[in-house]
Amino acid sequence: MARRALIIGGSVGGLMAGSLLRQSGWDVAIFERVPEDLAGRGAGLGLSAELVAVMRRAGARIDPSIAVPVPLLHWLEPDGTIVHEDRRGWYTSSWQRVYRPLRDAVPDAIYHPGRALERVVQEKDRVTAVFSDGARETGDVLIAADGVYSTVRRQYLPEIEPRYSGYVAWRGILEERDIDPRDHAQLYAALSYCAPDRELILCMPNPGAGDDVRPGHRRYYFIWYRPADAAHLADLCTDASGRNHGLGIPPPLIRPEVVAALKADAARLLPPRMARVVERTTQPLLQPITDLEVPRMVFGRAALLGDAAFVARPHVVAGATKVALDAAFLADALAATDDIDAALARYERERLAWGKALVEHSRYLGTFVGAAPGSAARRAPADYLRDYGAPHLIHNPTLQDLQTA
């Protein structure tokens, strides 16, 4: 009889783990809390050679249309002067462009939407998922790919929660047709950075609606990191009725005066071409920057995967890559032996070290935000771009990586 894996979470990590385990003969069931399709969720993301390789292993169709090539990195002064150029280049994409091919590779028969996990029960060498509707599913292993607010992690590590970094990110997406014609050529030629006093903004091309990467049909994306102490964060996350939403607020509930102040600050602090992107963004999104790390990833026959275990700050551009590598390593460990407990122990040992290194590097990069000019943390553009991302842990893809196999 085939060994059975229960996967909690039907997003990118759960889909990868499910596909890879099925290839080695496991019986797989994926349970997703959200009843509707997830393709409309998420925003821009960076690609890596490792992410593309795992997607292809999982059966996802990969070709160059997954990405928008950005051959240059530019560092701008607030007056718009380019003070540093890096020809390393990046490929940017969108979350749904990664999710959709992975979901298409998974049979509907093993994907169960609208199934919210309530708790995990373990007995000897079996593990049971108990769902909110009272239903139970039992298997040989349970993989918690249920994200930063993981039900499984909270059951076993209730003291571990996301930790606020002291700064927020404002994000916005603009359709290519809405870009000021004066700025179009420069904006789409490079991934652009600027560092106003104690702040940092990145602007980059992104695929358009329907993952369209044709010129004229793309989008443009910014992420602007700004310090915010606890009192300021509470104000930003309070809506017009006076209700505070904690660590985050639904975009439509952001108060108009907060958005107006953001756009006024953009005009005052940012290069004109970046300021105009912020000004023309109808609904910016607010994201308090947090991180999270766990001391353990395995609890009996339950294993944490991806954001359920480690959340690194966005500067490492590795969220999807991290979960992909977790899924691949776990599937390979389970395929290599009949001893499930030994495979899980190996997985925990290897991925704990990698996850801790990624979070540590993201915190190192994050010290740039809020640092005073002239301080050691406020590194020169060339030094910052050298370390941006996680070049010691993952690698930029090449066009060959993206070609159809």
pLDDT tens-digit map of 290-348 = 999 999 999 999 999 999 999 999 999 898 999 999 999 999 999 999 999 999 999 99
- Residues 8 and 39 occupy one common structural domain: yes
- The predicted-structure confidence for 371-403, as pLDDT tens digits, reads as follows 988 898 999 999 998 898 899 898 887 767 777
What mean pLDDT value characterizes the chain? 92
Residue that terminates a domain, selected from 227, 259, 290:
290
Q: Are 222 and 194 in a shared domain?
A: yes
Which tens digits make up the pLDDT trace of 148-171?
Answer: 999 999 999 999 999 999 999 999
Pick from 371, 78, 386: nearest CA to 199? 371
Please give the pLDDT value at position 93: 80
The 10s digit of each residue's pLDDT in 352-375 is: 999 999 999 999 999 999 998 889
Query: Does one domain contain both 98 and 149?
Result: yes
Q: Are residues 311 and 185 in the same domain?
A: no
Considering the domain architecture, whether residues 175 and 140 belong to the same structural domain is answered as no
- State the pLDDT at residue 405: 53
Number of structural domains the chain divides into: 2
Q: Is residue 156 part of a domain?
A: yes
Q: Cβ–Cβ contacts within 10 Å for residue 65, how many?
A: 16
Regarding whether 232 and 304 lie in a shared domain, the answer is: no
Domain span including residue 121: 4-66+93-161+292-370+392-402
Residue 116: pLDDT over 80: yes
- Verify that 251 and 202 share a domain, yes or no: yes
Output the pTM of the full model. 0.92
User: Is the residue at 78 inside a domain?
Assistant: no
